[in-house]
Homo-oligomer: A and B are copies of this chain.
């Protein structure tokens, strides 16, 4: 039987290689489940995979794009016990990473990168790597977690041990940064958000931001962070990349602070002067490969307990997936850009 799906067939600056197609519906192996996807969302890395002007190490075209999806289990392999038909689930970013710290082996495959992803009606994954969705989330909301949500959770909670006495700096208002703001709020922590749009900063305050800074008006925003924290700086920066931000992020960190480095592109940050790492005993930590299913389960329990709902900026029809890529690239969004799967 066939299914509707997208493939990235080639890279192109205007995402013309993102192509709607028909494919054979996959069959789950003994340890796999077959998921009927209902929604998927885009991350910056998905732009890099499809855009000839960017580069994502380890992409392997053609590939069904997108790591972040949500849907229902419709078939389980013979050896699968932990999931059943009808379970509402999310797709894994790293299908081999079930538990424990990351290793080369666990990070060898990435969904929508070198194995087929979520922008399709059906997909198979190892059952061990597939988390159940929190009940209170729609498919569209559940489709934002696999990369963006789990990246912020891992950085702040799993690696960072976030607690209510700390301060978090989120750069911008994209998917990861908005989750970072929400996880800070969830743990009682203070958050500082930057953006070039006062409107987005207003929305960030509604979501709980303690301070907001317009970085166009205040290009030296790291100094503003220092002032507003009485010279103490922040405990955590969720550094999502972008040319030239890392040095300022190091500048905004307090003594013993953590800069969680997130991103996809070699050379994206340019060269930096590492002196603040030394002079303030800062820890600069790479967040690579997103996270394990065990981490995903913990995040989902937290979302469930607190009733936290991901911020969905805009939902595109399945037919308009290319538009979703272009919209994400425009940077006009706040939170996540989602595609419905018919």
User: Which of A's residues lie within 8 Å of B, judged by CB?
Assistant: 30-31, 57, 82, 98-105, 107, 157, 161-165, 183, 186-190, 210, 246, 255-256, 261-263, 266-289, 292, 294, 298-299, 301-302, 305-306
New contact pairs (18) apart from A157-B163, A187-B188, A280-B288, CB-CB < 8 Å:
A57-B279, A98-B98, A100-B294, A101-B256, A102-B281, A163-B187, A164-B306, A255-B288, A262-B278, A267-B273, A268-B275, A269-B274, A277-B284, A277-B285, A278-B286, A278-B287, A281-B285, A281-B289
Interchain nearest-CB distance for A233 vs B (Å): 10
B286 contacts A280, C-beta separation under 8 Å? yes
B100 contacts A100, C-beta separation under 8 Å? yes
Q: Which residue of B lies closest to A106 (CB)?
A: B99
Interchain nearest-CB distance for A183 vs B (Å): 8
Q: Which residue of B lies closest to A105 (CB)?
A: B82
Q: Report which residue of A82, A255, A292 has the largest number of chain B beta carbons within 10 angstroms of its beta carbon.
A: A255
Give the top 5 A-B pairs by smallest Cβ distance, nearest first. A99-B100, A164-B302, A271-B271, A165-B298, A281-B288
Residues in B with CB closer than 8 Å to A261 are 274, 277-278
Assembly CA distance A271 to B275 (angstroms)? 9
Assembly CA distance A311 to B267 (angstroms)? 41
B277 contacts A165, C-beta separation under 8 Å? no
> Given A274-B261, A286-B280 in contact, is the A302-B188 Cβ separation under 8 Å?
yes
Residues in B with CB closer than 8 Å to A262 are 278
14 contacts between A and B (CB under 8 A): A99-B100, A100-B294, A102-B255, A102-B256, A163-B302, A164-B301, A165-B299, A187-B188, A262-B278, A263-B278, A269-B273, A281-B287, A282-B285, A284-B284
Among B102, B273, B282, B301, point to the contact of A165 (Cβ < 8 A).
B301
Assembly CA distance A287 to B276 (angstroms)? 11
A279 contacts B274, C-beta separation under 8 Å? no
A269 contacts B263, C-beta separation under 8 Å? no
Residues in B with CB closer than 8 Å to A292 are 100
Residues in B with CB closer than 8 Å to A269 are 273-275
Q: Report which residue of A188, A281, A282, A301 has the largest number of chain B beta carbons within 10 angstroms of its beta carbon.
A: A188
> Given A190-B305, A305-B190 in contact, is the A286-B282 Cβ separation under 8 Å?
yes
Assembly CA distance A15 to B77 (angstroms)? 42
Assembly CA distance A97 to B169 (angstroms)? 28
Assembly CA distance A284 to B162 (angstroms)? 19
> Given A255-B103, A294-B100 in contact, is the A273-B274 Cβ separation under 8 Å?
no
Residues in B with CB closer than 8 Å to A246 are 274
Interchain nearest-CB distance for A162 vs B (Å): 7
